[in-house]
Structure formats: structure tokens, C-alpha cells
Amino acid sequence: MQGPGQLLSQMGQYGAAAPSYRQGGSVTYIDIPLIASAVLATWFWTAVRWRSRAAAQAQSWRRDRAELLAQTTHMQDVAARARVHTAQVTKATAEWSAGYKQGCSDMIKAMAALRGGAASQHDTEKATSAK
């Protein structure tokens, strides 16, 4: 049994009982399986957590890859539609330009014909009135 003097010698500076370093701290046979089970439990928990995080990261990468593939496919479709639209606009512009040139030349010929017809009609009237 401990006496009051021995208890006071184990008191710390704040009044709590401090561990005694004078006694031999031998490890009992029950401590070894407890420590081993704590180590194994910690190792198992760490391994499970690491595998869980690795699986989540792999799933995230697969999801991101699928999303990027979908975006790439969409952008390729948009580019194909833009090429088709560009070809249509180029063809329409060429047709309009050809029609515009044809219309201009037709108008020039028509104006020349009107002026030439008016001039020849005017000359014909002069010639008939001079007789």
C-alpha cells in the first residue's frame, strides 16, 4: 500500500498524478495483441480509405474523359455543319454574283437598245420630214 508521502511524490506541478518512472514498465502478454490489433486496424482502415479514394479518382477521370469526348464530338458536328453552311453561302454568293453580272450586261444592252432605237427612230423622223 502507498502511504501519503509516496502519493505526494507522484503529484505533478498542477496537482495531477504523474506517472511513476521509477517502477519498471514491463509489457504484459495482453499488451502485445492489443498493440498488434491496433496496428492492423489502422493499416486496414488506411488501405480501405486509399482504395476508396483511388476508385473515386478513377471514376472521376472516366467521367471527365467521357464528358470531353462528348464535347469533342459535339464540336466536330458543329464544325461539319459550319463547313456545309459555308459551302452553301459560297455557292449562293457565286450564283448571285453571276446573276448580278448577267443582269448588269442585260441592262446595258437594253439601255443601248433603247437609246439606239430612240436614236434610229429620231433619225427616221428627220429623214421623213426632210423629204
Q: Is the pLDDT reported for residue 101 higher than 60?
A: yes
User: Is the distance from CB of 18 to CB of 10 less than 8 angstroms?
Assistant: yes
Looking at residue 28, its pLDDT comes to 81
pLDDT mean across residues, the chain? 81
> Within the chain, where are the H helices?
4-9, 31-130
Looking at residue 117, its pLDDT comes to 66
| Cα–Cα dist 111/103, whole Å | 12
Looking at residue 56, its pLDDT comes to 96
Torsion angle (degrees, nearest 10) of CA 19, 20, 21, 22: 180
Q: What residues have CB less than 8 Å from 20, skipping those under 6 apart?
A: 10
**What angle (nearest 5°) sits at the alpha carbon of residue 93, between those of residues 89 and 94?**
120
Per-residue pLDDT tens for 21-72? 555 567 788 888 999 999 999 999 999 999 999 999 999 999 999 999 999 9
Domain segments of the chain: what residues?
Answer: 29-119
Q: Which three cell numbers stand for residue 31?
A: 499488451
